[in-house]
């Protein structure tokens, strides 16, 4: 094959940030657009890294080769980004939890983002951002079975759904900071003060479900140490004066994802019944206005059982969305 090696530097890809969490400089896309491919030529570009303006090597987050491919697809105005991995499809549930889950033929960008975040390791969730911005379809394919059609990830308008629930995934390793304080809803700046304390210790949050007197901050445990937790709690008590403060450790986030969730008003209730029948009581339930994702928190030990129960529900005939 007429192939040649091209480094990220030759392509004009520059990064900002720090090693392990680099971000592409938007000006990289203009330089990529000027790169000339010869007729019939294949270029081989190493993934996972590039250089900053000073010439230092920076690496992307885990799954960075996916990110490199997505940047190239956008910058070179590709029609399709084929991403080769070790599975032939994206599945509706983790095959390590559910025996022979159904393959997903097509799903939307935002469905894949939700599922990748929640533990679908097939494709890095950050890697979707450049192709989303450019409207480029992604085809997940199997290196060992390259002729298998794989799963297509595409804009919403190009996807027809045959199930209300596209997929269900679980991600372990979360802790919650629970606060109870009367009239939170009337206290201007309450959440701002709390987030400023978290920012001081370099802690970001995943979700923030709340009520009129209660607020829960869900945090990735990897950001916390016993010392940081004690320091955060002390500052929250000193500055915000909650009536109750409690750290809730060792639970998993379960994401139920599907563009068709909104089409069945009773589906959330049916999910709760399925979990109750399995002896599982979610501690947090959160659904955004887009209605494509339902987030639940369950004890880590029950995460796999929760995925199995919800997946079984998604396979019932009454949950199949016959697309005409």
CATH number, residue 25: 3.40.1160.10
Query: Do 215 and 269 have their domain in common?
Result: yes
CB of 163 within 8 A of CB of 111? no
User: Tens-digit pLDDT profile for the chain (324 aa)?
Assistant: 999 999 999 999 999 988 888 999 999 999 999 999 889 999 999 999 999 999 999 999 877 888 999 999 999 999 999 999 888 888 889 888 999 998 888 888 888 887 877 767 667 767 788 988 898 999 999 999 999 999 998 887 666 666 788 899 998 999 999 999 888 878 888 889 999 999 999 999 988 888 888 899 999 999 999 999 999 999 999 998 999 999 988 889 999 988 777 777 788 889 999 999 999 999 888 876 667 888 899 999 999 999 999 999 887 644 444 433
Tell me how far apart the alpha carbons of residues 297 and 207 are, in angstroms, rounded to a whole number: 11
Query: Do 112 and 73 have their domain in common?
Result: no
Model confidence, pTM: 0.77
Query: Do 213 and 268 have their domain in common?
Result: yes
Report yes or no on 21 lying in a domain: yes
Query: Do 171 and 122 have their domain in common?
Result: no
Report yes or no on 107 lying in a domain: yes
Report yes or no on 280 lying in a domain: yes
CB of 153 within 8 A of CB of 137? yes
Report yes or no on 302 lying in a domain: yes
> How confident is the model at residue 316, as a pLDDT?
64
CB of 236 within 8 A of CB of 228? no
Domain finish residue from 78, 109, 144 = 78
Query: Do 105 and 228 have their domain in common?
Result: no
Query: Do 84 and 203 have their domain in common?
Result: no
> How confident is the model at residue 143, as a pLDDT?
92
Report yes or no on 307 lying in a domain: yes
Query: Do 172 and 264 have their domain in common?
Result: yes
Kindly give the interhelix angle for 267-277 and 303-314, rounded to the nearest 10 degrees: 130
Residue 232: alpha-carbon gap to chain centroid:
26
Taking the CB of residue 44, how many other CB atoms lie within 10 A of it? 9
Query: Do 254 and 230 have their domain in common?
Result: yes
Report yes or no on 323 lying in a domain: no
Query: Do 90 and 152 have their domain in common?
Result: yes
Q: Is 10 helix (H, G, I), strand (E, B) or coil?
A: helix
> How confident is the model at residue 141, as a pLDDT?
92
Report yes or no on 324 lying in a domain: no
Instruction: Tokens for 257, please give them.
Output: 């994802």
> How confident is the model at residue 318, as a pLDDT?
44
CB of 74 within 8 A of CB of 130? yes
The enclosing domain of 188 has a CATH number of 3.30.2130.10
Task: Give me the domain span that covers residue 121.
Answer: 79-159
Query: Do 44 and 100 have their domain in common?
Result: no
Domain finish residue from 27, 45, 78 = 78
- DSSP letters spanning 184-206: GGGSTTHHHHHHHHHHHTT---S
Query: Do 69 and 94 have their domain in common?
Result: no
Domain finish residue from 159, 186, 208 = 159
Residue 99: alpha-carbon gap to chain centroid:
23
Largest CA distance in the chain: 69
Q: What is the pLDDT of residues 76-129, one digit of tens each?
A: 999 999 999 888 888 889 888 999 998 888 888 888 887 877 767 667 767 788
Report yes or no on 171 lying in a domain: yes
Q: How many domains does the chain have?
A: 3
Residues 6+ apart with CB under 8 A from 53: 14, 25
**Please, which residues bridge with residue 256 across strands?**
168, 294
Query: Do 208 and 114 have their domain in common?
Result: no
């Amino acid at each position: 094959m007429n192939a040649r090696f091209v480094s990220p530097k030759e392509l004009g890809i520059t990064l900002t940030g720090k090693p392990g969490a680099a971000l592409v400089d938007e000006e990289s896309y203009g330089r990529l657009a000027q790169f000339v491919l010869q007729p019939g030529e294949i270029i081989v570009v190493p993934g996972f890294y590039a250089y900053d303006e000073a010439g230092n090597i920076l690496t992307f987050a885990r799954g960075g080769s996916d990110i490199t491919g997505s940047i190239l697809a956008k910058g070179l105005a590709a029609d399709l980004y084929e991403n080769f991995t070790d599975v032939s499809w994206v599945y509706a549930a983790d095959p390590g939890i559910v025996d022979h889950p159904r393959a997903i033929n097509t799903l939307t960008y935002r469905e894949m983002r939700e599922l990748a975040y929640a533990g679908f390791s097939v494709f890095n969730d950050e890697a979707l951002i450049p192709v989303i911005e450019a409207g480029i379809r992604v085809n997940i394919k199997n290196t060992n079975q390259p002729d298998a059609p794989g799963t297509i990830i595409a804009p919403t308008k190009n996807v027809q759904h045959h199930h209300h629930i596209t997929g269900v995934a679980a991600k372990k390793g979360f802790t919650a900071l629970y606060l109870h304080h009367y009239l939170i809803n009337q206290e201007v700046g309450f959440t701002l003060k709390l987030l400023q304390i978290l920012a001081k210790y370099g802690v970001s949050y995943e979700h923030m479900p709340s009520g009129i007197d209660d607020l829960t901050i869900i945090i990735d445990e990897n950001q916390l140490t016993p010392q940081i937790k004690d320091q955060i709690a002390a500052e929250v008590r000193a500055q915000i004066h909650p009536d109750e403060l409690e750290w809730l450790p060792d639970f998993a986030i379960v994401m139920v994802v599907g563009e068709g969730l909104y089409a069945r008003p009773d589906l959330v209730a049916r999910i709760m019944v399925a979990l109750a029948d399995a002896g599982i009581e979610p501690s947090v339930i959160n659904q955004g206005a887009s209605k494509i994702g339902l987030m639940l928190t369950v004890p880590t030990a029950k995460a796999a059982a929760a995925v199995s129960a919800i997946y079984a529900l998604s396979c019932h005939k009454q949950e199949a969305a016959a697309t005409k």
